[in-house]
């Protein structure tokens, strides 16, 4: 399935620039927080549900069934423990349970993003009387998709999914996460998505993981895009290795890997549906490519502080037809409110930033004069 220029620009911009209220049952129930009986050493989570969940472990996946009590519709969630996006794509997981092979040809309603969790909610209209509620979640550690048949008004679906997304965590000790940022994305036509940025410490090194999902409108349906971008960062803030994977409708579109040899020297590999390409490039600065962490610190130290009015950095752009380095230019536009402009070629993003340099709100004009709006918050930690 081809990716529209609108959608590609939306997710690329969101990655570079670093809702609806919960629905409750119409009648009061007796649900209480219940630990989900995950296999030992996998996950821990608590969800309000009137009956115990049934858990089945499969190869690399865990299926959790929440049975009906007569008032709540039964709910099925499939959790993937894989790190590779091809194995944890929400749409690919959903196909194991429901016929969701082509959402672009379906009728999609109630499309929204959770207010404080990286979850996309949608309803797939089957017939005039039947629908399927779908929710997709992804972070750096895992992903899941939840589905529930709807006959009339859904009961407790969003609440249960939000509780699972909030409480789910690996049973093993997690990495030392120093920062979590969440952005909610929307386009003028009702397309929605999220971008979650997580930074972890590994001794003197760090890692950065961006997970994005975008359900962009396609007639009555949606094309569902998922993107993972990860960086291994040395103590000086330079990229040692970076990967990017983009999926559309559960199928890989682009896979990119760059690895530093030394200093300014990098190798790259890009795989698309048209084939693969490998090569080598040199950065202009002898220190190599700056990481997302280094760029965020530079915005705070230079633009926010007033030391400079503009600066530019090199970035690796796997979407470039010539597989070459691109340039991002950062400029201070106004001090009250604190506003910067981020430009890559002809595309500009106007960003309201906090004193720490993090984006609060960004507006990017895409092809066709459509506007991508990002609203962001820091959920944990700092740089």
Confidence of residue 264 (pLDDT cuts 50, 70, 90): very high
Answer yes or no: is pLDDT of 373 > 90. Answer: yes
pLDDT in the model for residue 233: 97
Instruction: Give the residue ranges of DSSP H helices in 17-108.
Output: 85-88, 90-94
pLDDT (average), residues 11-23 = 39
Q: What is the pLDDT of residues 79-100, one digit of tens each?
A: 998 888 988 898 888 887 777 7
Tell which residue, 132, 136, 137, 164, has the closest CA to residue 149: 132
Q: What is the pLDDT of residues 43-80, one digit of tens each?
A: 999 999 999 999 999 888 999 999 988 888 899 999 99
Residue 232's DSSP bridge partners are: 207, 241
| Beta carbons of 169 and 186 less than 8 angstroms apart | no
Q: What is the pLDDT of residues 151-197, one digit of tens each?
A: 555 568 999 999 999 999 999 876 789 999 999 999 999 999 999 99
Answer yes or no: is pLDDT of 341 > 50. Answer: yes
pLDDT in the model for residue 151: 56
Q: What is the pLDDT of residues 191-244, one digit of tens each?
A: 999 999 999 999 999 999 999 999 999 899 999 999 999 999 999 999 999 999
Percent of the chain with pLDDT over 70: 90
| Beta carbons of 145 and 77 less than 8 angstroms apart | yes
Q: How far is CA 23 from CA 154, 162, 199, in A?
A: 9, 10, 32
Answer yes or no: is pLDDT of 8 > 70. Answer: no
């Amino acid at each position: 399935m081809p990716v529209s220029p609108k959608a590609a620009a939306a997710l690329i911009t969101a990655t570079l620039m670093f809702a609806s209220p919960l629905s409750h049952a119409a009648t009061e129930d007796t649900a209480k927080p219940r630990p989900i009986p995950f296999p030992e050493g996998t996950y821990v989570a608590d969800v309000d549900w009137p009956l115990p969940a049934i858990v089945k472990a499969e190869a690399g996946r865990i299926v959790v069934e929440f049975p009906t009590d007569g008032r709540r519709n039964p709910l099925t969630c499939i959790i993937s423990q894989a790190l590779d996006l091809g194995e944890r794509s929400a749409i690919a997981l959903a196909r194991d349970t429901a016929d969701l092979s082509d959402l672009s040809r379906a009728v999609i309603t109630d499309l929204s993003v959770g207010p404080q969790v990286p979850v996309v909610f949608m309803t797939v209209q089957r017939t005039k009387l039947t629908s399927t509620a779908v929710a997709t979640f992804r972070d750096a550690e895992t992903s899941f998709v939840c589905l529930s048949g709807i006959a009339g008004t859904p009961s407790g679906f969003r609440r249960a999914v939000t509780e699972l997304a909030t409480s789910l965590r690996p049973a093993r000790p997690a990495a030392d996460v120093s920062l979590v940022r969440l952005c909610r994305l929307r386009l003028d036509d009702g397309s929605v998505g999220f971008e979650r940025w997580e930074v972890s410490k590994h001794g003197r090194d760090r890692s950065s993981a961006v997970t994005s999902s975008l359900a962009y409108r396609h007639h009555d349906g949606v094309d569902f895009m998922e993107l993972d971008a990860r960086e291994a960062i040395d103590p000086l803030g330079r990229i040692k290795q970076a990967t990017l994977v983009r999926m559309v409708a559960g199928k890989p579109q682009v896979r990119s890997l760059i690895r530093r040899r030394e200093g300014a020297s990098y190798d790259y590999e890009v795989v698309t549906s048209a084939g693969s390409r490998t090569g080598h490039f040199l950065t202009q600065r002898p220190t190599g490519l700056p990481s997302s962490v280094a760029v965020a610190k530079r915005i705070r130290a230079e633009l926010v502080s007033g030391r400079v009015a503009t600066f530019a950095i090199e970035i690796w752009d796997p979407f470039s037809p010539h597989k070459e380095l691109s340039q991002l230019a950062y400029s201070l536009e106004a001090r009250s409110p604190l506003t910067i402009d981020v430009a890559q070629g002809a595309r500009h993003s106007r960003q309201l930033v906090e004193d720490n340099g993090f984006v609060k709100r960004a507006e990017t004009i895409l092809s066709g004069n459509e506007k991508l709006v990002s609203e962001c918050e820091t959920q944990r930690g700092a740089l």
